[in-house]
Chain A
Amino acid sequence: MTPIHLGNNSDATSTSSKSSSNHTQDRNQWPHGFLPKEQFPAFIDLLNQSFDEVIGPRVDQGAIVYDAIRSASELPHGWTDVQSPGVYRLERKSSIDDSRTDHSCEEEYFGYNVGPHSWKKYLFPPLTTLMKSKKTTDGWQMEMTAEPIKRRVLLGVRACELAAIAIQDKVFLTSGTVDPIYQTRRNHLLIIAVNCTQAASTCFCTSMNSGPECRSGFDLAMTELSDGFLVEVGSDAGQTIFESLKLRTVTTDEIDRGRTRRARAVEQITKRMNTDGIRDRLLSQLENPHWNDIASRCLSCANCTMVCPTCFCSSVDEVHALTDDEIVRQRRWDSCFNVDISHLSGGPVRDTIRSRYRQWLTHKLATWIDQFDTSGCVGCGRCITWCPVGIDLTKEVATLCEESS
């Protein structure tokens, strides 16, 4: 296969209206095709030839993380994860005895849930340089730094993660001021979503109306079957790639098998959060004594905010060269759990864990709605799994709000 050229994407805004309208079209207008498993490695090679970087899942340090993928052999084939509050464990899929389905022992490329990473780190980098200052005889000179443009493929984006990207789009692009770093990275992405065919015990996307099926916001979406992938087009760019793959059309049987697998994910989701009127219910509980109970368990470690695909707080550090006449400003992820984030000359505003946890939870589920007209939570369950003491926000919300009724 020859590399795909998607045209000049440097002026993305010129095509934005066209492309965004695509997402609102009836999905059935876009073509569907079948990519046999034997052809999948060549597909990954093609993506690598056509883009600067293909980011996808791989096993690293005992977890499935997102990193550069150069060949299909680097994908977590046959691996899955088992998650519960405070627990994440990788297992070979074949070792799991699950009598619920016929397919559970199959070796899949995408047979896992979500890991500690989110795609956030490719759009809103954990550490990035903003500006450089240089001291001259005529005072300080200051200039913004621009990073080289990279055309990236995000491979294996889940429905909850598409929802998270849509939320960060609101934060960094359409809330009044555009973050140029986010915008540039965002406009040079090819998003290949992969539908979930299973769920972890920590998943609750059905409560947040963000999954498990990918409905919009992707260029291509795939559903993994035992012998291949159902491929669905979601944009013009996706269409270009789809055409170059020369896939055969899907059979009714394949469509049914895909539907069955996607339904399996829905069935496996057991965690629920009642989101009816959650904004008002939570904001009426700001003085609930249960915050103290949570604070007695919470370590204020900030893990939940680091793994959250929508958390966006950041701070800026001054980085000196060896001499003091060249200074770089670096933005890094920060967290509302860090006491310094609310620092004022008189001391921090939120100097208790109670107030910091309350800020996080009420922001995520309540005030976020005021700010961005959407919840800040997509139900991915990362904050539950990666909390070292296993705090489960769905349970805390239930306790906080139940005491009011």
Chain B
Amino acid sequence: MTIAPSLSPVPQQGSWQSHPAEIVSILEEIETVSTYRMRFRDPELARSYRFKAGQFNMLYVPGCGEVAISHSGPPDSDTGDFLHTIRVVGRVTEAIRALEVGETLGVRGPFGNPWPLETYRGRGFDVFLVAGGLGLAPLRPVVYQLLKERDHYGRIGLLIGARSPSMLLYSEEIRAWESSGIEIQRTVDRADQDWHGSVGTVPLLIDRLRGVRLDRTAMFVCGPEVMMHYSAQSAIRLGLDPSAIWVSMERNMQCGFGHCGHCQWGSLFLCKDGPVVRWDSAFSKMRVRDL
């Protein structure tokens, strides 16, 4: 028989297999956004499961469907727990919100390219994280890792934009990060009477950065596409090289391993060639409408 070509070494198999995970706790963050702590039911899987900052899982509510959600917790948890910060936007996320602590859902993953921390670790690089809205969630694992490996990096900055002060995610935790030596800047689109900070979009915060070491700085950007676009433009105006800027793209992801075709963006399957993409690769595609 004609034998199919085989991949070596041992290829990943059965990637459609979802594994029951239990919701350990639920923390309501802001309006329509909650963080779920989950743990695989299978103790062996719970023990061995690892992911990297920037990767995502496919969360599955049987009978309703799957949704791709980024990890928002520490990448090296000893307990086997992992976190997902989820906004209710559609059918599946609505079904997840209906779940209670102790209930199960299916989890497949992790999938996707992580943020390229390993590229910059130990080389004295400064790292700026730029988050728009819920885009802070996929960057939170980066913050955890940077803090854990603080000595391996130079200056660490976190620029956060939100629609309004009440929509600022993880606000208490951010104050703790601030006291751990991370430079934090916040801006909101619409201020309220208690807001004394910056008003405007995130790229403005990038425009105002001072003392950036242009050849020793990496920038990770996550948020709505238009926000990432303008943020990257601001960073380039500042003098950063496009190859030092990374964005995390969102597309319809279904399989997670480049077989179903949904997440194609030019030649990329964003589920496996992304979601984290270097700006010099993303730029030309982002300019094409409806690509």
Given contacts A178-B12, A315-B254, 14 further A-B contacts (CB under 8 A): A19-B2, A20-B3, A20-B5, A176-B258, A180-B13, A187-B4, A190-B2, A191-B2, A313-B261, A314-B254, A349-B251, A349-B252, A350-B290, A355-B290
Residue of B nearest to A316 (CB): B254
Whether the pair A355, B3 counts as a contact (CB closer than 8 A) is no
- CB within 8 Å of B: which A378-395 residues: none
Residues of A near B262 (CB, < 8 A) are: 313, 315, 334, 341-342
Whether the pair B261, A12 counts as a contact (CB closer than 8 A) is no
Decide if A179 is an interface residue (CB 8 Å cutoff).
yes
Whether the pair B4, A186 counts as a contact (CB closer than 8 A) is yes
Decide if B209 is an interface residue (CB 8 Å cutoff).
no
Decide if A130 is an interface residue (CB 8 Å cutoff).
yes
Residues of B near A173 (CB, < 8 A) are: 4-7, 11
Partner of A367, one of B15, B17, B264: B264
Say which one of B142-150, B159-167, B236-244, B266-274 lies at the interface with A. Answer: B266-274
Interface string of A1-19 (1 = CB under 8 A from B): 0000010010011011001
Interface string of A130-154 (1 = CB under 8 A from B): 1101010001111110000000000
- CB within 8 Å of B: which A278-327 residues: 286-287, 312-316, 318, 320, 324, 327
Partner of A286, one of B2, B11, B269, B291: B291
Partner of B17, one of A140, A142, A234: A142
B88 CB, nearest partner CB in chain A, Å:
10
Residues of A near B6 (CB, < 8 A) are: 13, 16, 173-174
Decide if A272 is an interface residue (CB 8 Å cutoff).
no
Query: Assuming the A-B contacts A176-B257, A217-B2, A315-B254, are A324 and B63 also in contact, with contact meaning beta carbons closer than 8 angstroms in the complex?
Result: yes
Whether the pair B250, A344 counts as a contact (CB closer than 8 A) is yes
Residues of A near B7 (CB, < 8 A) are: 173-174, 176, 178
Residues of A near B267 (CB, < 8 A) are: 366-367, 370-371
Decide if A188 is an interface residue (CB 8 Å cutoff).
yes
Complex A-B, nearest 4 residue pairs according to Cβ-Cβ distance, in ascending order: A139-B104, A313-B261, A355-B290, A370-B267
Q: How far is the CA of A314 from the CA of B7 in the complex (A)?
A: 22
Say which one of B18-26, B117-125, B227-235 lies at the interface with A. Answer: B18-26
Decide if A74 is an interface residue (CB 8 Å cutoff).
no
Could you tell me which A residues sit within 8 Å of B by CB distance?
6, 9, 12-13, 15-16, 19-20, 23, 130-131, 133, 135, 139-144, 169, 171-180, 183, 186-191, 217-219, 234-235, 237, 286-287, 312-316, 318, 320, 324, 327, 329, 331, 334, 336, 341-345, 349-352, 354-355, 359, 363, 366-367, 370-371
Residue of B nearest to A317 (CB): B65
Residues of A near B3 (CB, < 8 A) are: 12-13, 15-16, 19-20, 187, 235
Q: How far is the CA of A176 from the CA of B139 in the complex (A)?
A: 26
- Residue total for B at the interface (Cβ-Cβ under 8 A): 50
Q: How far is the CA of A327 from the CA of B20 in the complex (A)?
A: 14
Whether the pair B260, A349 counts as a contact (CB closer than 8 A) is no
B251 CB, nearest partner CB in chain A, Å:
7
Query: Assuming the A-B contacts A140-B106, A178-B13, A186-B4, are A312 and B261 also in contact, with contact meaning beta carbons closer than 8 angstroms in the complex?
Result: yes
Residues of B near A351 (CB, < 8 A) are: 290
Q: How far is the CA of A352 from the CA of B255 in the complex (A)?
A: 24
Decide if B14 is an interface residue (CB 8 Å cutoff).
yes
B11 CB, nearest partner CB in chain A, Å:
4
Whether the pair A341, B261 counts as a contact (CB closer than 8 A) is yes
Q: How far is the CA of A342 from the CA of B270 in the complex (A)?
A: 12
Q: How far is the CA of A156 from the CA of B289 in the complex (A)?
A: 43
Whether the pair B12, A176 counts as a contact (CB closer than 8 A) is yes
Residues of B near A286 (CB, < 8 A) are: 288, 291
Whether the pair A139, B20 counts as a contact (CB closer than 8 A) is yes
Question: Can you give 5 contacting A-B residue pairs, CB < 8 Å?
Answer: A16-B4, A174-B5, A177-B15, A178-B7, A354-B290
A21 CB, nearest partner CB in chain B, Å:
10
A297 CB, nearest partner CB in chain B, Å:
18
Residues of B near A191 (CB, < 8 A) are: 1-2
Query: Assuming the A-B contacts A16-B3, A16-B5, are A177 and B260 also in contact, with contact meaning beta carbons closer than 8 angstroms in the complex?
Result: no
B68 CB, nearest partner CB in chain A, Å:
11
Residues of A near B266 (CB, < 8 A) are: 367
Whether the pair B103, A139 counts as a contact (CB closer than 8 A) is yes
